[in-house]
Amino acid sequence: MSPQRLHHLDALRALTLVLILPAHAVAIAGLNGGWSDAEASVFWLIHVFRVPLFFLLAGFFAALLLNTRGSEGLLRNRLVRIGLPLVVTVVLVVPGLSLMLDSVSAVDPRPGSEGLGILVDFHPHYVWFLWYLVILYCGALLVHHLLGRLPTVRATLSRLSTSLLPHPIAPLLLAIPCALLLYREPTWIAEAPAGNFVPRLELLAYFAIFFACGWALYAIRGLRDAIERRPGRYALLAAIASPPALALYLLQSEPAIGASRWAHLLALGLFSVATWSLTFGLLGASRSFLHEASPRLRYMADASYWIYLSHFPVMAALALVLFDLAMPNALRLPLLVVATFAIIYPAYGAFVRHTAIGRVLHGPRPRAPERRRARRQLTPPAAAGRRA
């Protein structure tokens, strides 16, 4: 029997993928001549929760797949859904994207690769998170196998998770290892490790904490409910931690701030508290407001993976045009986001959803007549009579 669909988690997963559009629009603006404080603030506000929440949800759904399909089923599913898009994107998309970004950038976005040499310089670029997921899936299966032979250790970890994660000060405690793991990050946030396929161990461990948390939220009965019931608590903590964390991020170029080890630690500590608070708070808020089935929301959730994979080359091509026009970034960047979405979102319905590409990205999806027949079969006779 298939598990009950968790519509609010589908919505959050879509959010983490679609928010890359404004984040990458701002990133392209940075390549073209630096950021204003407003642009840097947008970038920070998106990155403070987007990728950690994505890895938490990835851990949750990995545990769900393991429970419903077993280890072999999980590996087969992730090989198709994650491994194949990773290889195709790195080989066929990233080289051309690098050429376009090299054209739009005022600095060298890929030192060491010049001209057509970029075409054979394979690296994960914007799909680095898929590569990290592959590593985390393999590590999670190994740990799951080992814990199966160590029931005492498994029970201890379960008790610790049950005691720690729903606790009111959990975001403060979880922030400590996360802040320490980010200490070597030069920009005081978790930067994308897109340069090559050698994982940066501190960042891999950082994202592994969120992945493991998501796994625990599925594996331990009642744990997710305990966190999702109190979004207000996390919203308050996020509201306290986020403003000073953002202020320190914007002030790091000031010598008195940027050269201070204590300011660095404080910024990362506040950043990590804000990250965990927003992550847990969004779990609860989405359950409160997005828990019911919505065909439009489900469609967007299905389309979100395609939006992520396809958006950057389209956006880079549009940027080649838009950044030659005399207009402020306050107009240029929203226009870049809207124009990119206007191209790739309709393309999903026309060329992806019911094709082999869609079957790879999310599995088969019924066409409209099939959906209507399914809804009629599930509609109670009394309700059908009232509509007639």
pLDDT per position as a tens digit, 165-204: 999 999 999 999 999 999 998 888 888 776 788 999 999 9
Mean pLDDT of the chain: 89
% residues pLDDT > 90 (the chain): 71
Tokens 């194949």 appear where? Answer: 84
Measured at the CA of 291, the angle between CA 290 and CA 292, to 5 degrees, comes to: 95
Contact 318, 89 (CB under 8 A): no
Question: From CA 48, how far away is CA 187, in angstroms rounded?
Answer: 13
Q: pTM of the predicted model, to two decimals?
A: 0.90
Contact status, residue 246 vs residue 195, Cβ threshold 8 Å: no
- Give the pLDDT confidence score for residue 371 in this predicted structure: 52
Q: Which residues of 285-302 are buried (b: 16+ CB within 10 A; e: fewer)?
A: bbbeebeeeeeebbbbbb
**pLDDT digits over 279-304, tens only?**
999 999 999 999 898 999 999 999 99
